[in-house]
Amino acid sequence: MTQRILLVIGGGIAAYKCLDLIRRARERGMSVRVVMTKAATEFVTPLSVGALSNERVFTDLFDLDDEREIGHIRLSRSSDIVVVAPATADLLARMAGGHANDLATAVLMATDKPVLVAPAMNPRMWTHPATRRNVALLQADGIRFVGPNSGEMAERGEAGPGRMAEPLEILDAIGAVLSRGATSAASLAAVPQLHVGPLSGRHVLVTSGPTHEPIDPVRYIANRSSGKQGHAIAAAAARFGARVTLVSGPVAVADPYGCTVIHVETAAKMLEAVKAALPADIGVFAAAVADWRVANAGVEKIKKTATQRTPSLELVENPDILRTIATNRAQRPSLVIGFAAETEDVVEHAKKKRKSKGADWVVANDVSPETNVMGGERNTVHLVTAKGVETWPEMLKTDVAEALVMRAAEHLSRNEAAAE
């Protein structure tokens, strides 16, 4: 049965993401009808929205033809879910206050369907006490939330929580709500995906993010990995039907829907969690694990002294998680994929890493500061295999994840067919 989405587009710069959300939803066989606030039409046009949705776009509560049939009631009841994206601070406030003074809020007041909200606003607006009260009230009323994410805002120099969730994250949340009917933000995050797709019946193990290796109770050795690429891979594998275990270092991104997430701090704990999660059909080792740790981390904060202002730290090598798993004959995944974050000779280093670590594939990327890959939303990768090197065009990390997971699913299917 076709899943029917009623999308309420609010008036924020993130409204442009809704064009991609509509496109991707329709690619998955969903139907999308759209209500736009007056402010939303200042950011994207009803013409563009209508062209992508292939449906009439609704904007006016007092449209004579629509309201002759009580249009806002019909709109609110004829879909399976109502999605509000972007949900601005003003729109959340009006929802929390029970306002119904335009078509969007009238629809939200009249609906008897689940409502999923994707907030988007300036970080200070998101953390403002009024917004926090409104969010808490809406959650208590059963409204589901996806996001917001943290990162750079449209305004220069502004960063923090407030970025609207990416279209694929919103689609994951829609699927979670429709498949299991989660009733709160907390339960939504715990809802498993239905395991149907090209990876149905498979177990995919993913590592993501940095590790933090303690120097003392307040300091640590780490790197700039955000975890966005690894988390996107885990989310894509879940969408493709896999049972996904994600072992994540400390990150600021949300746990992906439909995944079992194990949070760790250090390389040693990450390896321990990875071993415990085996066996797996696919292992994707996207975490940027710290190569070294302090041999004897301080149990108290290291203080400067008059005689020794700069402490001497003895470093020892951390366990090599990729090599450990790739050379584990007893429980080696059928496909082992490593990552190589390089700043020079990217492809050559990746080729050497694939052989030395025993990986089947290595995904290599240039993480020089000017690329803005670490912490950014886009990535340019090279897929290094025994057959050669493929250089993919620059894409969103979510698109890189989908392409990689699809390639992995096809690889397993081909190998199994050849073995029969």
| Nearest Cα to Cα of residue 260 among 228, 234, 239 | 234
Q: How far apart are CA 354 and CA 364, in angstroms?
A: 10
Q: How far apart are CA 130 and CA 94, in angstroms?
A: 12
- Among residues 134, 223, 318, 328, the one annotated as catalytic is 223
Rg (CA), the chain: 24
Q: How far apart are CA 389 and CA 392, in angstroms?
A: 10
Cα dihedral 293→291→226→353 (10° resolution): -170
Contacts of 114 (CB under 8 A, 6+ apart): 81, 82, 142, 144, 177, 178, 181
Q: What is the DSSP letter of 386?
A: T
Q: Residues 12, 88: contact at Cβ < 8 Å?
A: yes
Residue 63, helix vs strand vs coil:
coil
| Nearest Cα to Cα of residue 203 among 241, 167, 257 | 241
Q: What is the DSSP letter of 318?
A: P
Contacts of 295 (CB under 8 A, 6+ apart): 314, 315, 316
Q: Could you tell me the CA-to-CA distances from 173 to 163, 236, 356 in Å, in that order?
A: 16, 13, 39
Q: How far apart are CA 294 and CA 221, in angstroms?
A: 8
Is 318 annotated in the active site? no
| Nearest Cα to Cα of residue 86 among 58, 54, 57, 126 | 126
What residues are annotated to the active site? 223
